[in-house]
Amino acid sequence: MPNSRTAAEAALSEQGPHEMTKASAWKDFQALIKIGIVNSNMITAFTGLWLAFIFTGQSFLASIDTVVFTLVGSALIMGGSCAVNNYYDRDIDHIMERTKNRPTVTGKYEPSQALWIGIFMIALGMAALMMTTAMAAVIGAIGVVSYVFIYTMWFKRRYTINTVIGSIPGAVPPLIGWTAVDPHLTVQALVLFMIMFIWQPPHFLALAMKRVDEYKAANIPMLPVVRGFAMTKRQMMVWVACLLPLPFYLYDLGTGFVILATALNIGWVVLALSGFKMKDDLVWAKWMFIYSLNYLTILFVSMILFTIV
């Protein structure tokens, strides 16, 4: 009996060589700029932007140019930084299952191509952010420098604290969005930063537990590799617990938001505590990782929704 094909495979086979080449090139470019990271960070950048309009009483539609420059600029500097990261890490990415198909490893992009694409995108993104406020551009530059130089080139391959250092650029997007509208770093803006900063260690440590053998082979000193799962679980518990008070600083979003955010935090604390009893650490790490993804999406989307309803 002949093998059945999926609808996607059948559709792909009906495309001509030119269409297939364009689709492949676009897919490779998305992999180069780590489109998944860009998309998730755009949610937090937009949330910071939206809340700044709400809290300052400015009109979203009347400032659509600011919205466009902020989102385009944020996406460009994020994607550009990821391209440079791919350029720098190409010597270890081939070792890990998760990264071995990146275009800088497979040869779809020459190293110099990846580097210059990244630099060009960062420069273009910074120019776009300069069209909003100087503070947004400064925050964007801090994100680029902390990700490319401090995290990728300095801490990632040397210290177990690399996850914490990498949380700095990951927490920058909502600040870019906020300061593009209001250059003052208010309590609400700083709380958005802190939520993102604290969220990342348990999220990425869960991933590191799942991929511990790959990180070990690549000689990357992730906490589970160097200190083991027991220490990693204790640190993840502390980070998750630190999220508990933060929703109360956003009480202006309403009681409904505070209740929802607190419920999400308590749920994560309970899941983190279960790790001390669960026998299969990798199964627990998988659930922690899945919960963290849903947590972030629900929390930031709800911030917008509670200002609309």
Question: Could you tell me the CATH number of the domain that includes residue 192?
Answer: 1.10.600
Amino acid present at 102: R
Domain count, the chain: 1
- pLDDT, tens digit (0-9, with 9 covering 90-100), for 223-237: 999 999 999 999 999
Q: Is residue 16 part of a domain?
A: no
The DSSP letter of residue 107 is: T
**Assigned domain for 11 exists:** no
Domain of 224 in residue numbering reads as: 26-308
Cα–Cα distances in Å, from 107 out to 102, 111, 117, 147, 214?
A: 9, 8, 15, 24, 21
Residues 6+ apart with CB under 8 A from 220: 92, 156, 157, 162
Sorting pLDDT into bands at 50, 70 and 90, what band is 280?
Answer: very high
pLDDT in tens, 53-105: 999 999 999 999 999 999 999 999 999 999 999 999 999 999 999 899 999 99
Q: Note whether residue 203 is domain-resident.
A: yes
Q: Give the pTM.
A: 0.91
Residue 137, classed as helix, strand or coil, is helix
> With 70 as the cut, is the pLDDT of residue 162 above it?
yes
1 occurs within a structural domain: no
Yes or no: say if 165 and 155 are a contact pair by the CB < 8 Å rule: yes
Q: Which long-range contacts (CB under 8 A, 24 or more apart) does 190-193 make?
A: 191/246, 191/249, 191/250, 192/44, 192/47, 192/48, 192/51
Tens digits of residue pLDDT in 240-268: 999 999 999 999 999 999 999 999 999 99
18 falls within a domain: no
Helix crossing, 281-308 with 223-241: angle to 10°?
A: 40
Does any domain span residue 6? no
Does residue 268 belong to any structural domain of this protein? yes
Please give the distance of CA 85 from its chain centroid, rounded to a whole number.
14
